[in-house]
Structure 1
Amino acid sequence: MSSKGEHQTVPLSVLLKRESESEKIENPEILHGQASQSKKGEDFTLLKTECQRAMGDGVATFSVFGLFDGHNGSAAAIYTKENLLNNVLSAIPADLNRDEWVAALPRALVAGFVKTDKDFQAKAKTSGTTVTFVIIDGWVVTVASVGDSRCIFESGESGIYYLSADHRLECNEEERERITSSGGEVGRLNTGGGTQIGPLRCWPGGLCLSRSIGDMDVGEYIVPVPYVKQVKLSTAGGRLIISSDGVWDVLSAEVALDCCRGMSPDAAAAQIVKEAVHTKGLRDDTTCIVVDILPLEKPSAPLPPPKKAVKGKLKAMFRKKHSEASSQSDKEYMEPDVVEELFEEGSAMLSERFATKYPLCNMFKLFTCAVCQLEMKPGEGISIHAGTSNSVKLRPWDGPFLCSTCQEKKEAMEGKRPSGSRHGSDSD
């Protein structure tokens, strides 16, 4: 018989049930819909809710939404849809807690994109695909993108946030310079007589994009290294729109959000596609995914009327995770429900994307390739920092490490060896 001062024992099953119920309360409700009108049949989507991962003694859930806009055939888009998620997850160490798992995602996404591209190119097929890949874990949204599909978010307070980057040569001077310095050529289509027409393209191949998965016939300076942005939403939630360029070539973010306001995700996606096709006709595959991220107690769809977004000031709406200027007086006047930026990086260099303050012992296994997860013998791996000139406080023998074929891939993407030279033996 226990006295009043003694602790009462709580059965483990009760504790686990409490934790499960607590997670359901703090996590948002995820509602989604999609719509598409097809001209070439090269757009594909991935919609997975309630994905599970091990977390300590329990299981946590997350959602994944992907849009794959293929070109020169559908093989790359189909292959990426079927393999990218597994490649990303295989690059994340097991048994991480939630904060560690979220922190590991940006680097794992880079590894997963590069591995998917490497494996697909080994099949010697020449198609390519853009990718916009979204992982939602609780209130944290992580977006990785290559190409010109786009992901935008409207918060419950009606702020518009751009969570992806456009890798079109026409509008990205930094990417044009990277390609030319790596051995590619950038120019418009020459019709003869010196007349040039159309958008800027990369030659050989004539691709308008600087990043994609696949496209082995264009050159490996067309890289699969994604721009990654990770944000933490306020508990007001909001609406994500993921669409192919068939939408964004016609509609602005404001118009896309306004035309479907108050609709369910399914109806909203259909309305956005209808609006885009109605404006300029069905010139390309036109696909849209709408995801509502909502507090459980709030109904779906109705969002407040939009505030006029001021171009050029949208980036300033993000609250940085680590702000040196966040004094106490700043915090008192800061809007309570702004989107907090946790991570953003768009470099095409693997040495920069794998350099991290996150403990290497947790993020990368010592004798495993950081990209393809191949197990290596001690001394076989090549440091990701080998050959870099600007590695401050990093030595060539510091990890993480790459296997020999992933090191070749890295060098090709950086223009340090003839692009595509290793693919000749792969062709039938």
Structure 2
Amino acid sequence: MCVPDSEEVSEGREILGGGFASGNLHSPMEFSPDAQNESWEKDAILDPVPLRNSFPLDSIGEDAVVSDRKQGSMNNFLPALRSGEWSDIGARSDMEDTHICVEDLAMNFGCKKIGEEAISLYGVFDGHGGKGAAQFVRDQLPRVIVEDADFPLELEKVVARSFMKTDAAFANSCSLESALSSGTTALTAMIFGRSLLVANAGDCRAVLSRRGVAIEMSKDHRPCCMNERMRIESLGGYIDDGYLNGMLGVTRALGDWHIEGLKEGEKGGPLSAEPELKLLTLTKEDEFLIIGSDGLWDVFRSENAVDFVRRRLQEHNNVKLCCTEIVDEAKKRGAIDNLTVVIVCFHLEPPPSITVQRTRVRRSISAEGLQNLKFLLEG
């Protein structure tokens, strides 16, 4: 079921800054891969994979870059990153969610840098039909990103290409070991200096808090999305009873090579592994990023989640504890799916107390109250 997202952000609010603000992107790189972790089919990883099914959510135009340069002297903000994570099996019989939090991506995967700031990577992977695909993507996608020849100079292209390469590598692994056959959604967030790059394929969601206002950094790839439906039908797929080809509740995912008709075809099948991207320049008004699997968003609207996290951080300023609290709250609200959340804070201090201007539509009951009422009525 597709539920409308939270209150829209006020019109005219500029959320995109320029591209990567730091000049260190052109520093020399030296790679030293760890051979012990290369159990997958590397030849498939290195084959060029065309990006054909979509375009980034937001591209950075010349005007935005010029604007960012003009504001450079006024914005000396550099995020002080703190992160936490928590998972729960929920009411499911198996745990198919997994996640990753890496403070220094290059160093963690054998890339020695000279004079560069760390590139941090956070991700949530929600498996279906088994946990093989989610665990494979969690383990291999970061390495594929680091080993791309254009890393870290062209991160948008690198990340999009790496999703596709990892998907192809998983196909090879499945052909060797059929027990791995499964699929996974994937959402990653990379932070470099003041730049935040979110890549999403599936229905996990990333939400940024900007002074208490929720800014969605991804969109859910579900069959009810009109753009996704048009893309699917152009590739010979169809939506049946709210499912892609009558089988899947998501329209983008890695894996699922074992399901006939989803990924075959000259132009690719209707199930795409290509992520949509969103790039944003962080400012001191940006407080934290919430990354959650769809089990969280089944019972939380984006603005509601931001409100909840802000209150908890104001109370104790403990990111890890905040993650456990929002997962526990999701279970109280009736969440039945696996639950995984990663929260990344951009300040050492808790969010300030402010009055957030809400939508002009008046409500007699809160979004949280509506959700609770729904669960009561459905029994």
Cα separation, partners in 2 of 1:119 and 1:258, compared to 1, 3 Å: same
Aligned to 2:294: 245
Cα separation, partners in 2 of 1:265 and 1:177, compared to 1, 3 Å: same
**Structure 2 CA distance, aligned partners of 1:306 and 1:50?**
35
- Per-residue CA deviation, residues 316-347 of structure 1 (Å, 9 max, x unaligned), is xxxxxxxxxxxxxxxxxxxxxxxxxxxxxxxx
Does the 8 A contact of 1:169 with 1:175 survive in 2? yes
Aligned to 1:185: 238
Residue identity in the other structure for 2:103 = T
What pairs with 1:65-84 in structure 2 (closer than 5 Å)? 65-84=122-141
Aligned to 1:34: 85
**Structure 1 CA distance, aligned partners of 2:243 and 2:360?**
27
Q: 2:244 aligns with which of 183, 192, 202?
A: 202
Residue identity in the other structure for 1:202 = L
How far the C-alpha of 1:304 sits from its partner, in A, is 2.9
What pairs with 1:20-419 in structure 2 (closer than 5 Å)? 27-38=78-89, 39=92, 40-52=94-106, 57-93=114-150, 101=153, 104-124=154-174, 125-155=180-210, 157-170=211-224, 172-188=225-241, 200-203=242-245, 206-218=247-259, 219-220=262-263, 221-260=270-309, 261=311, 262=314, 263-281=317-335, 283-294=336-347, 299-305=348-354, 307-310=356-359
Structure 1: gaps of 5 or more residues: 1-24, 189-199, 313-428
TM-score, normalised on structure 1?
A: 0.58
Does the 8 A contact of 1:130 with 1:146 survive in 2? yes
**Structure 1 CA distance, aligned partners of 2:147 and 2:228?**
29
Cα separation, partners in 2 of 1:52 and 1:255, compared to 1, 3 Å: same
**Structure 1 CA distance, aligned partners of 2:167 and 2:340?**
23
Cα separation, partners in 2 of 1:245 and 1:306, compared to 1, 3 Å: farther
More strand as a share of residues: 1
Does the 8 A contact of 1:34 with 1:269 survive in 2? yes
Does the 8 A contact of 2:189 with 2:196 survive in 1? yes
How far the C-alpha of 1:309 sits from its partner, in A, is 4.2
How far the C-alpha of 1:56 sits from its partner, in A, is 7.8
What is the percent sequence identity of the aligned residues?
27
How far the C-alpha of 1:76 sits from its partner, in A, is 0.4
Does the 8 A contact of 2:213 with 2:306 survive in 1? no
**Structure 2 CA distance, aligned partners of 1:36 and 1:151?**
16
**Structure 2 CA distance, aligned partners of 1:148 and 1:27?**
30
How far the C-alpha of 1:184 sits from its partner, in A, is 1.7
- Per-residue CA deviation, residues 351-391 of structure 1 (Å, 9 max, x unaligned), is xxxxxxxxxxxxxxxxxxxxxxxxxxxxxxxxxxxxxxxxx
How far the C-alpha of 1:182 sits from its partner, in A, is 1.1
Residue identity in the other structure for 1:51 = L
Of structures 1 and 2, the one scoring higher in RCO (CA 8 A, sep 6+) is 2
**Structure 2 CA distance, aligned partners of 1:56 and 1:302?**
33
The worse-fitting range, judged by mean Cα deviation, of 49-58 and 124-133 is 49-58
> Could you say what secondary structure the match of 1:169 adopts?
coil
Cα separation, partners in 2 of 1:109 and 1:306, compared to 1, 3 Å: farther
> Could you say what secondary structure the match of 2:127 adopts?
strand
How far the C-alpha of 1:51 sits from its partner, in A, is 3.2
How far the C-alpha of 1:93 sits from its partner, in A, is 2.7
- Greater radius of gyration (CA): 1
The Cα RMSD (Å) is 2.2
**Structure 2 CA distance, aligned partners of 1:122 and 1:177?**
29
How far the C-alpha of 1:275 sits from its partner, in A, is 1.4
Structure 2: gaps of 5 or more residues: 1-75, 175-179, 264-269, 362-379
Cα separation, partners in 2 of 1:301 and 1:176, compared to 1, 3 Å: same
Aligned to 2:371: none
> Could you say what secondary structure the match of 2:103 adopts?
strand
Residue identity in the other structure for 1:119 = A
How far the C-alpha of 1:185 sits from its partner, in A, is 2.4
**Structure 1 CA distance, aligned partners of 2:106 and 2:234?**
43
Residue identity in the other structure for 2:199 = A
> Could you say what secondary structure the match of 2:141 adopts?
helix
How far the C-alpha of 1:57 sits from its partner, in A, is 4.3
How far the C-alpha of 1:256 sits from its partner, in A, is 1.1
Does the 8 A contact of 1:26 with 1:138 survive in 2? no
Does the 8 A contact of 1:141 with 1:230 survive in 2? yes
- Per-residue CA deviation, residues 168-222 of structure 1 (Å, 9 max, x unaligned), is 102x11211221221222111xxxxxxxxxxx11226x00111000011331120
TM-score, normalised on structure 2?
A: 0.65
> Could you say what secondary structure the match of 2:162 adopts?
helix
Cα separation, partners in 2 of 1:306 and 1:252, compared to 1, 3 Å: farther
**Structure 2 CA distance, aligned partners of 1:148 and 1:114?**
17
> Could you say what secondary structure the match of 1:41 adopts?
coil
- Per-residue CA deviation, residues 218-244 of structure 1 (Å, 9 max, x unaligned), is 311201100100100113441110001
Aligned to 1:318: none
